Amino acid sequence: MTKAMIKRCTGTLVALCIYSISGLNAQNITVKNDCFRTDFSEDGVSVFQVDRDSVNLIADNQMWGDILIRYRVNQEDWNMLETGLTRRTCINKNTYVYTDSLCYMPLCMKRYYTLAEDGLHLKIEISNITNRSVELGDIAFPFKWREGFNAAPSTIFESNFTHKHNIALNSSFQILSKPSGVGPFYIMMTGEGTPLEYFDTTNNVYTAYLHSGCTGPKTEGSWRIPHTTRVLAPGEKVNYSFLLTSVSRYEDIRNAIYTNGLLDVRTAPGYTIPSDLSVRVAIRLKGTIQSLVAEHPQQTEIKQLGRSPDGRYLYDIRFHKLGENIIWVNYNHGEKSFLEFFSTEPLDVLIKKRSSFIVNKQQHKAPGKWWDGLYSVYDMKYGKLRGPEDTDGFNGWWEYVWGCDDPILSKAPFVAAKNVVYPDSTEIASLEYYLKNFVWGKLQRADQETPYPFAIYGVPNWHVARDSALQKLYKYDAKDRIKVWRAYDYPHIFKLYYHMSQIAEMIPEWTHYLTADEYFDRAVQTAMAYFKYPYEIWSWLDIYKWGMYNEWVVLELIKGLEQRGRNDEAAYLRGEWEKKAKYFIYDDKYPYRSEHSFDRTAFESSYALAKYAIEHPMKPDKDLWYDKNKRTWHSHPKVTVEDAERFMKQQHYAGLSVRGWIAPKYYLSGTDCAFKQHTGDMSYMAMMGGWSVLDYGLLYSKNPDWIELGYNSFLSSWSLMNTGNETSNYGYWYPGKEKDGATGWCFVGAKNGYTWLHRNEKRGPWRYDGEIDLGYGAAFHTARTIVIQDSIFGLHAYGGVLSKEETSLSVIPRDGVRQQFSFITSEFRYHLTLSRDGFLPEAPIKIERKGKQSHFMLENKINTAMGTKPSKSGHSTLLQIRADKIVPYKVQVGKKVCTMQKCTVGWEVRLPVSEITEEVTIWWK
């Protein structure tokens, strides 16, 4: 209908419906109170902001509350409710109503906005003004907030917002926060009787649906709850409501959700649950929970535990069906929501399956070809190994997807890290085949090649990068330089060499390509090349300014160099690391970039650098390094531990802006998610950044929330793996034994989405594995069993099965690695880390309740793997102990008392291991 036709109807409309149009004009009307400011335009709310903040949440020229309705009569075609002549009416100084109704439309919609002390209230009233039934197919709420990451840093971090959501019927909400991690934090919540069931991002606009029966079924893919419609009888009306508010601190978001009648859900250990563990669920609600109902009741155990001291409903849940599991929550007067869990196999099974799959299904053996030895991406949808002979359309620059860079170079380090913990001779041989035939002298320049020995070739693959004739056929930057400037590639390789040195030291009989010392030396030389070459060749790649995954391994190399007496090389690497640490702490207010101006990749390095600066106090300097890009020297006349502690906290909260937690869903809680399309959630940073959150909670914060969130993160991305048993046909996502151990790259939370890989994917994991092995590699320094007493869950365990006795506790570690343990109470805490070997599987770690003694059985993993008797000489395992308000005074293996050595942070003890298992006891005071 044209504007002229609408105008001709206006007189009839007003006469029939008696709607006031007093005050209608084109001017914005500003309303303020002590907390908020909002602007009412002629079409809706165009400004909403906290009074003390200068940034408008709503994008320019956009409205909040611009509801879209699709309806039909008599099962005929769907129509859109016309909103071409919205009328604005002032009810009182804080309330405005917007009316949409035309003479030929069967519906009238009114939107009542009221600015109150607790935020902006929106009531939506939809009336059937005919004598026929009208079916509401879609009631959609598009929302455009201020976003954009191609701007000056101050604009990116202080004037834009990241987005998280929970589409969960009556307990739905959206959270918007600044990338800086500083408040205000905006929250949009559903009111009573207002369920959200679906979302999409059509035309790049995030839209949540109260009903989606028209649009939802048209989109290919799966959705976990039904797309519904609502039928209005003649004269019937329906009301919905929302609240847009804010809190000043991240910690207050949950209180706002609870205060407004929604479910505040907490879980331990998370929402991705290994089948050998149960999950404890705590729900806080202003009201009454009638029931929890399992999607698969015959394969789910729900045990009600009563109430916590602060009134939360407590449950223990055990899943016996692998894959997705919904728990329905029925509460108050017909309200309904749901929690989404993923049940998977035990973590040690997943780790071993993934490594085996890479070795047996993803390595090319093609003697004479340039890709001989390459580990490339597996397409689990079609059950195919992609690579040079089957590119799946990834050609030209995109060849890196199967031939180089993070999707490819992350696989061997994961397999190597796994073989430090669970050695397998076949897998170690595969790694050496890769190093001999694909890496040395090919992907990596050999030690005799000049210039740039030990350098790593970048995208699209080393074969093209070494061939000047081939390079002319490809489009990429800096063709006039040797293509070894992509710094991201280096940590993959020096991490791989480092783990190979560990394997060769532990089991020299199983390594044949290089010795332990030779592997270690290559790790060191590659790390030194990492700091030298990229910045020298192309200074755009700011090595000291960008966070890059796995670079924390540099600290392990420094330690190893100092132990070997190679002090000059150790000093060089330490100096380079400290340049970066000082830059992050002092020289950049927002050092959270990587390849992008704001990049979730940064939040592994940002924490590792802060932690180093706290534990290794640095000295002031003058003209420490020259910045080629800014043409200035960086100096730091004052350097303190307090500054490092400040930065650690700052980067922690900035990291939370791209990490979900509040939404009770396995693909959102603990995962990296911040962008409205939700087509690339739960990447490698779910676990890598999750390590930083967990470690922060264990060592530097007394808030147990961060332990809960960190463990959620550690578990989350295992749900991307396609694994199972015979009962589940070996895979939830893509069944079939041949795909058992495959995995996805990221997760699509939308029903269907277009990924940055330029592929459409339905809800679920991407079909390719790609970079996710970076995340899985973080498991080996993140995994631990934790026994903790907190105010929400009481006394419980993360990553283990806890038993309670009168004077002691015992926990069976099931964290997948069994090398780290923490015990945390309000009075004291301590942490144990084993450098090799591990806690004996299915044997309890025992703790006296008063903390005077700890006891565990140590497994000799090398001899377990080799199936041989231990040698007479045996070996030693390093036990690292950190403690707060408690001190170890004796450590004993069997009847032998061990020597404890005080170190920078805690104590180190060499445990002699000469048997298959050893009994270890620690006394505390």
For the stretch 281-315, pLDDT in tens is: 999 999 999 999 999 999 999 999 999 988 999 99
Report how far residue 672's alpha carbon sits from residue 675's, in angstroms, rounded to the nearest whole number.
9
- Which regions of 596-730 does DSSP assign to beta strands (E)? 621-627, 632-636, 721-722
Residue 761 has pLDDT above 70, yes or no: yes
More confident residue, 753 or 871: 753
State the pLDDT confidence band at 871, using cuts at 50, 70 and 90: low
Residues 6+ apart with CB under 8 A from 201: 207, 676, 677, 678, 750, 753
Q: Is 328 in the same domain as 363?
A: no
Domain with 858 in it: what CATH number? Answer: 2.60.220
| Per-residue pLDDT tens digits for 6-61 | 333 333 222 222 233 333 345 899 999 999 999 999 999 999 999 999 999 999 99
Question: Above 50 in pLDDT, residue 817?
Answer: yes
| 45 and 176 part of one domain | yes
Same domain as 201, residue 306: no
Residue 874: is its pLDDT beyond 90? no
217 lies in the same domain as 70: yes
Is there a single domain that holds both residue 249 and residue 276?
no
Overall average pLDDT of the 627-651 stretch: 98
pLDDT recorded at residue 864:
87
Domain assignment of residue 117, given as a range: 26-257
pLDDT of residue 6: 35
Mean per-residue pLDDT for 650-656?
Answer: 98
Q: Are residues 90 and 237 in the same domain?
A: yes
In a domain, 377, yes or no: yes
CATH number reported for the structural domain that contains residue 295 in this entry:
2.60.40.10
Three-state secondary structure along 397-466?
Answer: HHHHHHHCHHHHHCHHHHHHHHHHHCCCHHHHHHHHHHHHHHHECCCECCCCCCCCCCCECCCCCHHHHC
Q: What pLDDT does residue 300 have?
A: 98
Residue 597: pLDDT band with limits 50, 70, 90: confident
Calpha distance 408→771 (Å, rounded): 7
Number of domains observed in the structure of the chain: 5
Q: Per-residue confidence at 150, pLDDT binned at 50, 70, 90? A: confident
- Residue 638 covered by a domain: no
Q: Is residue 49 part of a domain?
A: yes
User: Is pLDDT at 781 greater than 50 in this prediction?
Assistant: yes
Q: Are residues 371 and 333 in the same domain?
A: no
Same domain, 166 and 77: yes
Residue 86 belongs to a domain? yes
Average pLDDT over residues 599-614: 95
CA–CA separation, 355 and 418 (whole Å): 7
Model confidence band, residue 479 (pLDDT cutoffs 50, 70, 90): confident
pLDDT of residue 5: 36
Residue 134 has pLDDT above 80, yes or no: yes
Task: Point out the least confidently predicted range of 17-26, 129-138, 169-178, 526-535.
Answer: 17-26
233 and 271 share one domain: no
- Per-residue model confidence as pLDDT tens digits over 433-462: 999 999 999 999 999 999 999 999 999 999
Report whether 188 contacts 242 (CB < 8 A): yes
pLDDT above 90 for 477: no
Q: Are residues 467 and 378 in the same domain?
A: yes
Question: Is 12 within the bounds of a domain?
Answer: no
Domain boundary residue among 198, 232, 257? Answer: 257
Say if 565 falls within a structural domain: no
- 618 pLDDT higher than 60: yes
Q: Return d(Cα 773, Cα 596) in angstroms, integer.
A: 21
Among the candidates 737, 756, 782, a domain finishes at 782
Same domain, 309 and 232: no
* pLDDT for the residue 19: 31
What is the structure's pLDDT at 4? 38
Please compute the mean of the pLDDT values over residues 549-573 and round it to a whole number: 98
Q: CA-CA distance, 733 to 380, in Å (whole number)?
A: 9
Task: Tell me if 612 is assigned to some domain.
Answer: no
| Statement: residue 582 has pLDDT above 90 | yes
Q: Which of 293, 328, 344 is the last residue of a domain?
A: 344
Whether residues 778 and 806 share a domain: the answer is: no
For residue 468, the tally of other CB atoms under 10 A from its CB is 9
Q: Mean of the per-residue pLDDT values for the chain?
A: 94
Average pLDDT, integer, range 705-732: 97
Mean pLDDT value of segment 112-131: 98
- pLDDT value at residue 50: 97
Token digits of residue 231: 């039928």
pLDDT score at 475: 78
Judge whether 654 lies within some domain. Answer: no
- The pLDDT score that the predictor gives to residue 845 is 98
Alpha-carbon span 28 to 39, nearest angstrom: 6
Output the pLDDT for position 75: 95
Express each pLDDT in 230-249 by its tens digit.
Answer: 999 999 999 999 999 999 99
Cis peptide before 451 (omega within 30 of 0): yes
